[in-house]
Structure 1
């Protein structure tokens, strides 16, 4: 196409091979410890979206392990109960999901007061504008996929903790309102967002991760009363599987745009993989292809853990109006959402470890399929 700028694509580093199943399972504890330490090292002090992603993932890991509270989550949330954060954007709702998880274990008036403050902002703040179909806007005039995770995970968990079906219903309705605006009818993929009421057809990887994670949680919670979320989510994940490269990690735009080809984005793969594993576990017999995609995405993403950080994670990304815009977002430093989505991938792998629908991992206590995994993570695909 005339005018394409392939500079970023041509300079992209080659992809790594995915971790072998047995290599991942043997190193899962070390990966979790490393990514947790890296998240803490980046600082989880703000009441904002990157911190919220990491804290919710840590809360999931603690629930999966022993049902208790994760000490890192407690340490970083409780100071905000003594001095409430300023709430001025939908991204400020994200840590509320982990806050709600703390309220599952015991009553805590100060934590409850902070939870209610978030609900009040969502319901009545002048910044919480809505699109004509009711979708909570990320910015006035713009509906973004990010919002379904940042607000939706909070609403779902707050509704469960408070036993308020209206909040769970709002989480569901927000997911569907966003899907109505952002899901491409032909492909099933989700666009990043809208600009001045128009959907921009850039199918950003992390947008698809946010949508998929929130959707899988709503289906698992029984909130999908009509089955529409499951139907839309299945179409999305099936489409993502059809575009998945052999190494498991999609480009920053997941549909093979020439200008972003080879510009990989690992946090999206980690989040999509986690969602796919959870969604497939709800119907093991009917979602084997989605399961296989999820496993490959997790193995592919976690191959990029270096030291304490998930690498090749794109920085915070505002809506871009053309594909090339996504090819120049920096990905050369650690990000809290990358740590969190890497931990989400680990949590989902643990949660579904004994899923009878698993199609590639070995049975517990038996050797892996080593013939398929003769290479190590240091090798690169050419």
Structure 2
């Protein structure tokens, strides 16, 4: 893993993302047109990584490819609003803020209004983790903060709506209260108010990765729109989590699917996300320099799992909240767009932060 290899590897992973037509389904395309057909969280995370890469490269063709995908989806008609279908809206909000497109702003505003008015809530006003498969009544999931609240905060800035920013902040605080373990700082996958428990009590690796990524991203995206007290609180939350993550890292740099179960499979999308969040957090001044070495070990492990076609190997498919640890161990492995995206973000951070220099 050398500095001069970063951009070629990043380009390969971007091409890998553009080969994906569905979950685990590869096309023969070698271009940079986005092939993924579904409007769901899996591609939503991928689009965010693609956008960050296109912006860094200042590549008009890549940005046009993103716009083409969104325009095609809007022309077909967007799906019903829920937690997971909100994930692609993050990048749409960023595109709306980046260019002078009133139609995109209108789409973002309409989705935000629908979310605020119609998304089911748990007790205490939490965003119920509604997905297409089931309503998950009374449930908070750690995924929600990345999938929904990054969009809501970004939309608040783009649309100059303080109500959206305030709601995003509240959801970060409420989810921290119910999902962050006070002893370790690690995050449980889910909480239900119907029985008041954490299901399997699992510290799911990718769920924790969503937090390691989402908190620095949220703090950075919000900038001056985030008050000092909230910034300080969220900084401590992610710092405590990261300390425990470092203690649980495997010798080869990876993290296990169930973080504190060394017999559970190691998983690359979680490892990429955690490593990215660590390095990003250090560069933003949120985390201590001591986490750089574990993050770089993780980056090397992910690097070794990128194949010749740019596909990130050893990533697990979408995961519902499980009622026992075995459920997490049995999730199938497949090429998935969010592993591509989290690896894009990691490689991009290695380049921007000059971490290999």
TM-score range, shorter chain: 0.7 to 0.9
Mapping of 1:26-41 within 5 angstroms?
Answer: 26-41=4-19
TM-fit CA distance, 1:258 = 5.0
Q: Answer yes or no: is 1:85 the counterpart of 2:78.
A: yes
**Cα distance per residue 1:166-202 (max 9 Å; x no partner):** 3223222211111111000001100111243312320
* Deviation at residue 232 of structure 1 after TM alignment: 0.5
- 1:276 shift after superposition: 0.9
**Aligned equivalents of 2:247 and 2:159: distance in 1?**
40
**Displacement of 1:129:** 1.8
Aligned residues: 327
TM-score by length of 2: 0.86
Greater helix percent: which structure? 2
Give 1:286-305 correspondences, 5 Å limit.
287-305=288-306
CA contact (8 A) 1:57 1:347 kept: no
TM-score (norm. length: structure 1): 0.81
The answer to whether residue 166 in structure 2 is matched with residue 165 in structure 1 is no
Q: Residues 40-77 of structure 1: CA distance to partner in whole angstroms, max 9, x if unpaired?
A: 22132322101110100111112223286623322211
Q: Determine whether 1:283 maps to 2:280.
A: no
Match of 1:365 in 2: none
1:87 and 1:121 in contact (8 A); partners too: no
Q: Does 1:75 align with 2:79?
A: no
Structure 2 counterpart of 1:308: 310
Q: Tell me which residue corresponds to 1:211.
A: 211
Which whole-Å deviations, capped at 9, do the CAs of 1:308-362 have from their partners, x for residues lacking one?
210110011111111111111111x211111111112122223322xxxx5xx33
Equivalent residue, structure 1, for 2:57? 65
CA distance in 2, matches of 1:118, 1:239: 37
> Contact conserved, 1:188 with 1:232, CA < 8 A, in 2?
yes
1:199-249 per-residue CA deviation (whole Å, 9 max, x = no partner) reads 232000110111121101122233253111011111011111111122211
The answer as to 2:222 corresponding to 1:225 is no
> Mind listing any 5+ residue stretches in structure 2 that lack a counterpart?
22-35, 130-135
CA deviation vs aligned residue, 1:139-177 (integer Å, no higher than 9, x gap)? 222111111100011112212212223322322221111
> Is the Cα contact below 8 Å between 1:249 and 1:269 reproduced in 2?
yes
Residue by residue over 1:245-296, the C-alpha shift from the partner in whole angstroms, topping out at 9 and shown as x without a partner, is 22211011112x1541xx1110001111111111111228x61122223222
Match of 1:320 in 2: 322
Quote the residue 1:47 is aligned against. 39
* Distance across 2 between alignment mates of 1:291 and 1:173: 30
* Structure 1 residue aligned with 2:99: 106
Describe the SS at the equivalent of 1:305.
Answer: coil
Bigger relative contact order, structure 1 or 2 (CA pairs below 8 A, ≥6 apart): 1
- Superposition RMSD in Å: 1.9
Q: Is the 8 A contact 1:78 1:111 kept in 2?
A: no
SS of 1:50's equivalent?
helix
- What do the CA deviations read for 1:71-102 (whole angstroms, capped 9, x no partner)? 33222112123233112421010011110111
Distance 1:282 1:119, change over 3 A: same
What is the CA–CA distance in structure 2 between the aligned matches of 1:72 and 1:241, rounded to whole Å?
A: 38
SS of match in other structure, 1:194:
strand
Q: Secondary structure at the match of 1:151?
A: helix
User: Separation in 2 of the partners of 1:249 and 1:55?
Assistant: 25
